[in-house]
């Protein structure tokens, strides 16, 4: 998140809007003649409070909420990262994963560089700081840094009082621009601008560098591949349903997926229920297309974090029990269809099915908007090893037995691509097919085979 206006309280408000993108730590850095920051472990309202936060002021700033995918969930890895260089002060927030981070780190360490964190984000800061000592042109320094990086990165950068947004050449993770009262802003999701009484302008394009000021913005680009690699999981699960990402409203596409799911995986049942909140759009689309009535089947505890992005399995398991409770009148004595966005590890869905059975359901059928996850993500979603996936070496029937459902059905990859209304070559579906948009050691690259051969 980046802002050019009265930044401190606006950043806090904006970060609360995108709290769902990271729950482990939060922080902001603002410029008032120098860069000052507050960051720490916890949710936004827990970190950005008290005397230290109240003392901050500035007309420009950046903010970050962290979901750890590279590097441990620890205080030293909180962002924004702030450093002092011979070229001045620099702050950076990063969403995504750098695929060649280990290779870069090893090279720099062999040259005598020291690192204070275990994040790939610090590598970006170090490279950019070095580039800024070679040129006074900040945009050129950012472009030179981008040439070294391989992978997923949406960045907000503050160089002195100048604020930039940067999106990698394949556009894995979202980034967009908006007009807010008294200034302009860059954020991961457009919902930020709605809630701040602003206006969504457009997505930052893959490979684009945008500098925002109080008066507007300027743009430049690096060369990009012919195809992008927008993460399908943003629409399936990660983003808020009221956000627009790469020109597509998330809620509408989730309903599209649900309709396609009902077409491909029909079931005889009495009621459709969603696993809230990300499963709701999928379930409504399924209900509309199937003609099976939709009802609220779970009470959700709003004070429990998103379980998928919690860093440890035991915390995810405990979170499910705290977060959801079945509504008995909806499910008791009925054939129930539970619709959710995805199954990754399978442990969460097993617990949910067991809850619904205990609440008196006669049958429990599960329908999933995302096709089976079979391959690791190297671009910013915490799905790192094949061993953890429910779909590894299991058929759909075997997964169904594992989660104790009466039946299980997934949307096909072809159906998902159609529902997302994007050219198949512009989506990253590597976690579904094992074909990657960048050169990942030990993995196959996409376009070595056509997508159709895997549908």
Stated as kind and residue range, the H or E segment containing 365 is strand 363-368
- What are the tens digits of pLDDT across the range 433-454? 999 999 999 999 987 544 333 3
Cβ neighbours for 420, distance < 8 A, ≥ 6 positions apart? 232, 235, 248, 253, 256, 257, 427
User: Per-residue confidence at 455, pLDDT binned at 50, 70, 90?
Assistant: very low
Confidence of residue 78 (pLDDT cuts 50, 70, 90): very high
Q: How far apart are CA 361 and CA 334, in angstroms?
A: 5
| 8-state DSSP, 292 | P
CA distance 266 to 413: 17
Each domain of the chain, given as residue ranges in start order, spans 2-224, 234-454
Yes or no: say if 53 and 340 are a contact pair by the CB < 8 Å rule: no
d(CA 222, CA 220): 7
Q: 3.40.50.2020, 3.40.640.10, 3.40.630.30, 3.40.50.300: which CATH number matches 234-454?
A: 3.40.50.2020
Strand partners, 180: 183
| pLDDT per position as a tens digit, 356-367 | 999 999 999 999
Per DSSP, which regions of 116-221 are E strands? 154-159, 162-167, 176-180, 183-187, 199-203, 208-212, 217-221
Angle at 309 between CA 303 and CA 313, to 5 degrees: 95
Strand 363-368 with 335-340, pairing: parallel
% of the chain residues with pLDDT over 70: 94
List, for residues 240-287, the tens digit of each pLDDT value.
999 999 999 999 999 999 999 999 999 999 999 999 999 999 999 999
Q: For residue 321, is pLDDT > 60?
A: yes
Instruction: Classify 2-224 by CATH class.
Output: alpha beta
Q: What share of the chain is helix, strand, coil (3-state, %, to 5)?
A: 35, 25, 40
């Amino acid at each position: 998140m980046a802002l050019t206006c009265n930044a401190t309280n606006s950043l806090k408000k904006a970060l609360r809007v995108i709290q769902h993108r990271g729950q482990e730590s939060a922080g902001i850095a603002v410029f008032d003649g120098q860069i000052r920051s507050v960051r720490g472990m916890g949710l936004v309202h827990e970190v950005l409070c008290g005397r230290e936060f109240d003392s901050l002021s500035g007309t420009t700033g950046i903010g970050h909420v962290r979901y750890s995918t590279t590097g441990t969930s620890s205080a030293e890895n909180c962002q924004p990262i702030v450093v002092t260089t011979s070229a001045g002060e620099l702050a950076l927030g990063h969403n995504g994963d750098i695929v060649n981070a280990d290779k870069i780190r090893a090279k720099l360490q062999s040259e005598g560089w020291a690192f204070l964190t275990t994040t790939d984000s610090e590598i970006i800061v170090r490279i950019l700081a070095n580039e800024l000592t070679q040129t006074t042109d900040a945009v050129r320094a950012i472009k030179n840094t981008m040439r070294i990086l391989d992978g997923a990165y949406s960045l907000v950068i503050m160089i002195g009082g100048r604020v930039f947004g940067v999106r990698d050449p394949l556009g894995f993770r979202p980034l967009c621009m908006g007009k807010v009262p008294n200034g302009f802003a860059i954020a991961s999701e457009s919902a930020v601008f709605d809630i701040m009484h602003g206006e969504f302008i457009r997505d930052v394009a893959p490979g684009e560098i945008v500098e925002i000021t109080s008066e507007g913005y300027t743009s430049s680009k690096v060369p990009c591949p012919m195809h992008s690699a927008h993460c399908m999981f943003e629409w399936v699960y990660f983003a808020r349903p009221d956000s627009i990402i790469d020109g597509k409203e998330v809620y509408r596409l989730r309903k599209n997926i649900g309709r396609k799911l009902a077409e491909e995986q029909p079931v005889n049942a009495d009621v459709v229920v969603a696993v809230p909140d990300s499963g709701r759009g999928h379930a409504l689309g399924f209900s509309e297309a199937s003609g099976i009535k939709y009802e609220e089947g779970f009470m959700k505890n709003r004070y429990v974090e998103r379980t998928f992005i919690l860093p440890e399995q035991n915390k995810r398991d405990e979170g499910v029990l705290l977060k959801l409770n079945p509504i008995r009148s909806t499910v008791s004595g009925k054939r129930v269809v539970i619709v959710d966005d995805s199954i990754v590890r399978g442990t969460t869905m097993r617990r949910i099915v067991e809850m619904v059975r205990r609440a008196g359901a006669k049958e429990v059928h599960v329908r999933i908007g995302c096709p089976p996850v079979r391959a690791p993500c190297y671009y910013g979603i915490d799905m790192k090893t094949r061993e953890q996936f429910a779909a590894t070496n299991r058929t759909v029937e075997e997964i169904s037995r594992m989660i104790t459902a009466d039946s299980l059905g997934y949307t096909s990859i072809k159906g998902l691509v159609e529902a997302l209304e994007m050219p198949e070559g512009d989506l990253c579906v590597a976690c579904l097919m094992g074909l990657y948009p960048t050169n990942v050691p030990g993995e196959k690259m996409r376009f070595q085979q056509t997508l159709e051969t895997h549908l």
